Amino acid sequence: MSTVALEMPAEHYTEKIKELKDQKNAVILAHYYQRPEVQDLADFVGDSLELSRKAQETNADIIAFCGVRFMCETAKILNPTKRVLHPNPESGCPMADMATVQGVLELKQKYPEAAIVSYVNTSAEVKAISDVCVTSANAVKIVSKLPHKQIIFVPDMGLGNWVKKNIPDKEIIIWRGFCPPHYEFGLSDLKALREMHKNAVVAAHPECNPKVLEHADFVGSTSQIINFATTTDAKNIIVITEVGLKHVLYKKNPNKNYIFPEAMNYCGSAVYCCTMKGVTLANLYTTLKDEVNEVILPLDIIQKAKKPIEYMLELSK
């Protein structure tokens, strides 16, 4: 006999989570790719850079971080005395898992003069051996500010290629990692969407395939896409990034038409990150109630990984 799990209505969790948050002096941070109901409950919704800053500024005792593992680790690195809870510890980032400490150190041996520049989408251990971190919002700015002529860029080849294109006078040695949802969306997929929406402009995230970026009208991080898409004169905007961003776009400017590559609206690849959707109201509630799923990192890793993150925050001002 099969059993059917009874789902509590969203309001049930929403009220209880709000109560717990107040009782425990907790703050809820959520990435733009999170489920809409999680975004609506969060104290702050943002991209990786904004969330890093918020994590650093908060006076809360507990940070409930609705995102993937590397984001929670970053919050812990910036707040070693606070408790950072990850509602779904299974939610990692496949791209972050593609970079290994050993592989990066081997590259450094081959290019001893190069700076190791790590996208924030890396493990705490990889950050700990890096010179500076970057996000998709500031990668070009930070790499151009570094005195090094050679850069080892880890782990995203989409963003790495974008940096290389924008800073042609530096040698960028790019790790061959990628974000599956963004990178697997191909040029033929984009052409199919353009064909369906002939008057639309295209905004794409730099984690996308370089061929897609070549055909985009605007390339930027999630925050930069929000700014572009909600303020452009164009009424129809094709947005090539994770579909979670749709929620905030309609909240900020509901008078436009945001077209995302979703499985149901055309026959190509959807840009959907399963691990980002691993945080739910149910596991956020349980995590806060029982104060479980705490992010624990060795002290030496925290101390070493903090330097490249703080250097990024300083250079991105």
Binding site for ligand SF4 (CB under 6 A): 33, 68, 93-95, 121, 179-182, 242, 273, 275-276
| Between 186 and 232, CB nearer to ligand SF4 | 186
By beta-carbon proximity to ligand SF4, the closer residue of 21 and 127 is 127
Nearest distance, CB of residue 271 and ligand SF4, angstroms: 8
Q: Name which of 93 and 288 has its Cβ closer to ligand SF4.
A: 93
The residue whose two tokens read 């593609």 is 98
Q: Decide whether 20 or 93 has the Cβ nearer to ligand SF4.
A: 93
If DSSP codes are grouped into helix, strand and coil, which group holds residue 28? strand
User: How many helices and strands in the chain, by DSSP H and E?
Assistant: 16, 12
Distance CA 206, CA 269 (A): 17
Specify whether the CB–CB gap between 10 and 18 falls below 8 A. no
> What are the E-state strand segments in 143-264?
150-154, 171-174, 201-204, 218-219, 236-240, 257-259
Classify burial at 165, counting beta carbons within 10 Å of its beta carbon; exposed 0-12, middle 13-18, buried 19 or more.
middle
Of 33 and 228, the one with the shorter C-beta distance to ligand SF4 is 33
Tell me how far, at minimum, the Cβ of 96 lies from ligand SF4, in Å: 6
Question: Could you tell me which residues come within 8 angstroms of residue 236 by beta carbon, excluding any fewer than 6 positions away?
Answer: 197, 199, 200, 201, 256, 257, 259
**At its nearest, how many Å lie between ligand SF4 and the CB of residue 277?**
9
Identify the three-state secondary structure at position 43: coil
- Say if residues 55 and 29 touch (Cβ distance below 8 Å): yes
**In the complex, least distance from residue 28 CB atom to ligand SF4, rounded to whole angstroms:** 18
Q: Is residue 261 a contact partner of residue 193, using CB atoms and an 8 Å limit? A: yes
Minimal distance, residue 88 CB to ligand SF4, in Å:
12
Q: How far is the CB of 95 from ligand SF4 (least distance, A)?
A: 5
Q: Give the nearer residue to ligand SF4 in terms of CB position, either 33 or 260.
A: 33
